[in-house]
């Protein structure tokens, strides 16, 4: 498959009390054209920072990319000026955020917010931009689309606001759509509708989608491949089928084991003890070791390298170094 996005050794940091705190520690993954890639992990693992790094959306914060490269359509985004990035955002790559109420401008009508990027990127006149906005709103299943253009975000339900966000993201037919927890704030029924809509649009437009979520049910339904993140690192990568049938990393096993299954009777759900470590106070060795039931002495001393398997699988865990005779115990 043809590659669209290639993230190489990406490092991102923020300042705290004038001291740089590294959030992403050499992230590697690729996204092919027409593919849906899931980025999963608990809150605090660095998923959203990864998406903001790709979009270069650190304005007004202390965040910056401190190393690595992000190749999009063969061009390294980390080397581009802000003006060049503005031409790419919205037109070639777009983003759907977690909470549409905080992403939409509360004092601007929906029509104004939708037509601004359409006029900017597609060079349409106001009347043409309005007609295009209406057609996109209708495409994402919004009734009375023309009336919606004259309403404010607070006048719409959560599900309708998220559909508007999807419509805005889709309005310039981007090659890459980044969806950051797009259904978190919605009830289960609306979640299903939004995911079904996203899948339909992705297949129709043959877009590439980077789907960020902590919900493995969403991953199973939507994604082709999965990247599992922990403490600002990629710990496992596999196809959806391989990941669910044979998870390698103890963290991935813990995530899958904590999902309730229909018809299964348990006194209590499995869980992963402890919390994701504070970026300013990372443990030595493997960052998951303090929470891992399979941890060995070396896990607390050194970080494991990434081990590759067949079917384009990879995993960063000392267990597999041991299996291959690469570790002295």
**Is 256 a residue whose pLDDT tops 50?**
yes
Indicate the pLDDT class of residue 114, thresholds 50, 70 and 90.
very high
Mean pLDDT score of the chain, rounded to an integer?
90
Report how many domains make up the chain. 1
Residue 262 lies in a domain: no
Query: What pLDDT does 195 receive?
Result: 87
Q: In the structure encoding, which two tokens stand for residue 204, read together?
A: 């129709």
Residue 152 to residues 86, 136, 176, 264, Cα–Cα distance (Å): 25, 18, 27, 45
Mean pLDDT of 70-95: 94
Q: In this structure, is residue 223 part of a structural domain?
A: no
pLDDT bucket at 326, cuts 50 / 70 / 90: very low
Note down the domain range covering 156. 107-173
Percentage of the residues of the chain whose pLDDT score is greater than 70: 94
Write down the number of H helices and E strands in the chain: 12, 12
- pLDDT classification of 187: cutoffs 50, 70, 90: confident
Q: Which residues pair with 94 in a beta bridge?
A: 177
Confidence of residue 265 (pLDDT cuts 50, 70, 90): low
Calpha distance 76→84 (Å, rounded): 12
In this prediction, residue 141 has a pLDDT band, given cuts at 50, 70 and 90, of confident
Taking 50 as the threshold, does the pLDDT of residue 259 lie above it? yes
In angstroms, the CA 259 to CA 78 distance is 37
Q: Which of 56, 1, 57 is nearest to 31 (CA)?
A: 1
Would residue 12 count as lying in a domain?
Answer: no
Percent of the chain with pLDDT over 90: 66
Return phi, psi of residue 3, to 5°.
-80, 140
Q: What is the pLDDT of residues 203-219, one digit of tens each?
A: 998 999 999 998 888 89
Pick the range with the lowest mean pLDDT from 4-8, 250-254, 255-259, 281-285: 255-259
Is 93 among the domain residues? no
182: confidence class by pLDDT, cuts 50, 70, 90: confident
pLDDT at 280 over 50: yes
With contact defined as beta carbons under 8 Å apart, do 40 and 216 qualify?
yes
- What average pLDDT does the segment 162-180 reach? 91
Residue 263 above 70 pLDDT? no
- pLDDT number for residue 64: 94
Which letter, b or e, does each residue of 17-44 get, where b requires 16 or more Cβ atoms within 10 Å of its Cβ? eeeeebbbbbbbbbbbebbbbbbbbbeb
271 vs 6, residue with greater confidence? 6
Residue 132 lies in a domain: yes
Which range has the worst mean pLDDT, 92-101, 104-113, 216-225?
92-101
Averaging pLDDT over each range in 224-233, 272-281, 306-315, which range is the top one? 224-233
Using pLDDT thresholds of 50, 70 and 90, give the confidence band for residue 324.
very low
Take residue 274 and report the two structure tokens written for it.
């402890």
């Amino acid at each position: 498959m043809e590659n669209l996005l290639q993230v190489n050794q990406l490092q991102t940091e923020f300042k705290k009390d004038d001291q740089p705190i590294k959030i992403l520690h050499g992230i590697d993954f690729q996204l092919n054209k027409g593919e849906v890639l899931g980025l999963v992990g608990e809150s605090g693992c660095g998923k959203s920072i990864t998406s903001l790094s790709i979009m270069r959306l650190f304005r007004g914060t202390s965040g910056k990319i401190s190393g690595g490269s992000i190749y999009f359509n063969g061009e390294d985004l980390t080397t581009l000026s802000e003006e060049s990035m503005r031409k790419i955002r919205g037109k070639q790559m777009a983003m759907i955020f977690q909470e549409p109420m905080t992403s939409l401008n509360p004092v601007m009508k929906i029509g104004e917010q939708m037509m601004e990027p359409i006029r900017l990127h597609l060079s349409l006149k106001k009347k043409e931009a309005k007609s295009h906005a209406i057609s996109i709103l209708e495409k994402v299943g919004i009734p009375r689309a023309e009336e919606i253009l004259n309403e404010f975000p607070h006048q719409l339900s959560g599900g309708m606001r998220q559909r508007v966000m999807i419509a805005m993201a889709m309005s310039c037919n981007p090659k890459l759509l980044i969806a950051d927890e797009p259904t978190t704030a919605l009830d289960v029924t609306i979640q299903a509708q939004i995911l079904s809509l996203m899948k339909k649009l992705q297949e129709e437009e043959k877009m590439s989608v980077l789907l960020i979520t902590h919900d493995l049910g969403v991953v199973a339904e939507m994604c082709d491949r999965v990247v599992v993140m922990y403490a600002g690192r990629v710990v496992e990568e596999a196809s959806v089928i391989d990941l669910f049938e044979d998870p390698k990393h103890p963290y991935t096993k813990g995530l899958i084991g904590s999902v309730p299954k229909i018809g299964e009777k348990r006194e209590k759900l499995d869980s992963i003890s402890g919390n994701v470590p504070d970026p300013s106070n990372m443990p030595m060795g493997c960052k998951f070791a303090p929470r891992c039931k399979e941890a060995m002495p070396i896990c607390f001393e050194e970080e494991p390298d990434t081990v590759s398997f067949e079917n384009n699988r990879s995993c960063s865990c000392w267990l597999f170094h041991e299996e291959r005779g690469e570790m002295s115990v």
